[in-house]
Structure 1
Amino acid sequence: MATDRLEIDLERFDGWLRRLVDDHPGALVTHRDEPGGAATTVTWPDGGAECGRFDLDPLILVLIRRGGYAVGVAEGGELVAAKVGRRRVQGRTAAGGWSQQRYARRRANQADHLVDAVAGHAATLATRQAPAALVLGGDRRLGTHVLADPRLEALTGLPRRELPDLPDPSARVLAVALRRARTVWVRFTTPARPVEHGRRDRG
């Protein structure tokens, strides 16, 4: 069973879906509402595809890696507020003994400060306009720590999309995250004949 995800830009999806159906004679298409947006299921005799939209507004985006962070709020596909910063968290060291322990404590403290700063910025943006959905990107462990902050309790139950493959956060990466989050995500239940190339991600 295939596990690749195909990301199709929303404005291209209807045409892509028509070509998918044409490429699989006898395909059955059904539509339904999901918490994150409209969903489409396509089935044919030897397989199928699940297609999910994520068109809720406003979106809050939280991107974090050890090199920095970017948080933002978007509505209608446009960023309306953002905060981007850099807080370096040192990498692991090969040193041993007391030096290694001291280095590990410093590294943990740096990570804690980073998480606290990101949670604070996200909480500030969330209080200005209550988000309807969450996009979480970058380091999964750090992202989990950010969402564990009590100030962000309201975000944990929101519909969510995760983009762990994003590089170090920046204003440009934040814009990329927004675009990718609003694409239609397609997963095939079996390998399908190529219809049209889109962005393909493992996940």
Structure 2
Amino acid sequence: MAAESRKISIERSRLLRWLQNFAVRHGEPSATLHDQQLALAAPDGAEAMITVPFPPLSESTGSLQQRLVDHVLLDRRVGVILVRRGGFGVGLFDGDRLLGHKTGTGYVQGKTKAGGWSQQRYARRRDNQARQLYQKASAAVSELLLPAVDDLAAVVGGGDRAGVLAALEPAELTPIKELLQPRLLPVPDPRLRVLEEFADQFLGVEIELNELA
């Protein structure tokens, strides 16, 4: 799309109504599937590119738009791993229902501008703090998600990418790491409330619109 395009995210329950409104405003669009993105092109030039969550698009009867709605509304078992300097959160979801969770706090100091020996000592302390936090997160993933790995459709990460990958570094967690989705979502310091509300983010539908849409 052109540089004037913009991106929005909507709740999955609103997708059908959004598609209907798009057709009312711009005329019935053509629909094509490209690399797990549903492209809509309306008669008036309006275009929308809808990213298929949890690809590939499910096989079902009906138009591409109806298939996408059915796919989006399907409840899946999803693992969640949130890691930031202030703590971690690990959750097991069925659709938007949080079935189980583990959270923990930690403290990882920020970077310092000091130089020389002080900087080296500070860096070592910071590395130790981060390592301890990641180990706690790894233990939570092992306890909560690993036993359910055969039922997981995907694993979604949030927060600090390096922290999420570090939490999944142990070899025993490779089956979980292989399910990790490429997109990392922003979150505040993980707490139970943040974890409970995270479903709205990872179940949301991302849409890119051109300047006429």
TM-score, normalising length: structure 1: 0.81
Q: Report the residue type matching 2:47 in the other structure.
A: G
Write the mapping of 1:1-203 to structure 2, written as runs, cut at 5 A: 1-2=2-3, 4-30=6-32, 40-44=38-42, 46=45, 48-51=47-50, 52-54=52-54, 55=74, 57-130=76-149, 131-158=152-179, 160=181, 162-188=183-209, 190-193=210-213
Check whether the contact 2:157–2:180 (CA below 8 A) recurs between aligned residues: no
Kindly state the Cα deviation for residue 30 of structure 1 after the two structures are TM-superposed: 4.3
Residue type at the aligned position of 1:106? R
Alpha-carbon deviations, 1:107-160, whole Å to 9, x = none?
011111111211221122122312220110001221222233322211233262
Is the strand fraction higher in 1 or 2? 1
Alpha-carbon contact 1:73-1:80 (below 8 Å) kept:
yes
CA distance in 2, matches of 1:147, 1:191: 40
1:62·1:70 contact (CA, 8 Å) conserved in 2? yes
> Between Structure 1 and Structure 2, how many residues are aligned?
188
Letter in 2 for 1:22: V
Q: Which has the higher contact order (CA 8 A, sep 6+)?
A: 1
Q: How much does 1:12 deviate? A: 1.1
- Partner Cα separation in structure 2 for residue 145 and residue 94 of structure 1: 25
- Note the residue ranges of structure 2 that are not aligned, 5 or more in a row: 55-73
Say if 1:163 and 1:177, in contact at 8 Å, map to a contact too: no
Q: Structure 1 regions of 5+ residues with no counterpart?
A: 194-203
Distance 1:159 1:185, change over 3 A: farther
Q: Give the superposed CA RMSD.
A: 2.4
Counterpart-to-counterpart distance in 1, 2:206 and 2:83: 22
Task: Tell me how far 1:28 sits from its aligned partner.
Answer: 0.9
- The 1:57–1:129 alpha-carbon spacing in structure 2 relative to 1, beyond 3 Å, is same
TM-score (normalizing by structure 2): 0.78
Q: Structure 2 vs 1, CA of residues 142 and 79 (structure 1 numbering), >3 Å: closer, same or farther?
A: same
Q: Secondary structure at the match of 1:169?
A: coil
